[in-house]
Amino acid sequence: MYDAQREIRNIGTIATKEFRDNVGSKRFIFIGFFYLLFAVVLSLVTGYVSKDTRPYMVLGMMESLNLIVALLAVIISADTLSLEKKDRTVYQLLSKPVERSSVVIGKYLGCLAVIATLFTACALLAYALTAVFSGTMPAPGDLIPFVGAILAENLMLAAYIAIGVLVSTVTKNPFISIMAAFLAWVVLFMTSTMGNIVGLFAAQESMLFYAGDTFDLYPVYAKAMIWVDPMSHGMVSQLLSGNTGTAIAGLPLWANVAFLLGYALLLLTAAVMLFKNQDIT
């Protein structure tokens, strides 16, 4: 019989263990260190070069580091289940009164907590350093765009975590899981890049007589190539500018939020269903 309270506790326990295991891993420390270093450098550049910039605007520059943190997201989550299969600890886990869906969700939330903690900590540090080096004190109105940008970035990372968990569900070897997740990261980036190139090429004749967003002229297949990459839905610049009516990837703010939520939930649901029906031997 399904016990909701028990499964909530199980999810929390699994997520906590996953968080602790990943925070102490060499890959997290290595990639996380470089991400933190780049964030500090960007805050110094923003503070010294742009004296009139509000401190929260450093998050706009941190968007250029999305490739790094997205890579860490898929790598951290890629072997979350395949490693359990390889070490055969999954048998010990499933021998307890715990639903398979709780295992996947707990693993997902644990990985998400790791990446969200890293990004949020780096964003706060960059914000503080930018304020110090620019000599510009934060204003009360800075809080809303700053928090909104952090939430938007974490939502994008949630989609990448779901990709990693899905890959980990269908593989048994951790090395293969990480390589497959890395390949997915590369393919998504290249697909969106090619989508922009193809879209611009297809729309070049109409661009001379069109005053609106060039993205509107892209063919549907080019738009789909861009939308499939979670990074293309980055809403940080949109939120920091305060102009939430501006379209990003041809979509308004609410549509980008809904798309990323649906993206992450769809992949997580697929991972849950696959793991529930998997013959783990």
Q: What digits encode the pLDDT tens for the residues 242-261?
A: 666 666 778 888 889 999 99
Cα–Cα distance between 51 and 130 in angstroms, integer? 9
CB of 153 closer than 8 Å to CB of 121: no
Is 281 among the domain residues? Answer: no
Residue 22: its pLDDT value, please? 87
Q: Is residue 29 part of a domain?
A: yes
Q: Has residue 245 been placed in a domain?
A: yes
For the cut 80, the answer to whether the pLDDT of residue 65 exceeds it is no
Tokens coding 98: 């715990």
The residues with which 251 forms a beta bridge, in sequence order, are: 248
- Domain membership of residue 89 (yes or no) is yes
Model pLDDT for residues 12-46, shown as the tens digit of each residue: 999 999 999 888 888 888 888 888 888 778 777 76
Cβ–Cβ contacts within 10 Å for residue 32, how many?
A: 23
* Other Cβ atoms closer than 10 A to 216: 12
Range of the domain at 162: 4-276
Q: 14 or 52: whose pLDDT is higher? A: 14
In a domain, 111, yes or no: yes
The contacts of residue 5 (CB under 8 Å, 6+ apart) are none
Higher-scoring residue by pLDDT: 176, 4? 176
Do 244 and 142 touch, CB atoms closer than 8 A? no
What pLDDT sits at residue 51?
A: 54
For 125-129, 171-175, 183-187, 277-281, which range has the lowest pLDDT when averaged over its residues? 277-281
How many folded domains does the chain comprise? 1
What pLDDT is stored for residue 229 in this prediction?
94
Percent of the chain with pLDDT over 70: 89
Q: Is residue 106 part of a domain?
A: yes
Does residue 20 lie in a domain region?
Answer: yes
> CA angle, corner 224, sides to 222 and 226, nearest 5?
75
Confidence of residue 203 (pLDDT cuts 50, 70, 90): confident
pLDDT one-digit tens code per residue, 151-188: 989 999 999 999 999 999 998 888 999 999 999 999 99
φ/ψ of 208, rounded to 5, equals -65, -25
Res 211: pLDDT: 59
Whether residue 176 is contained in a domain is answered as yes
State the pLDDT at residue 214.
Answer: 78
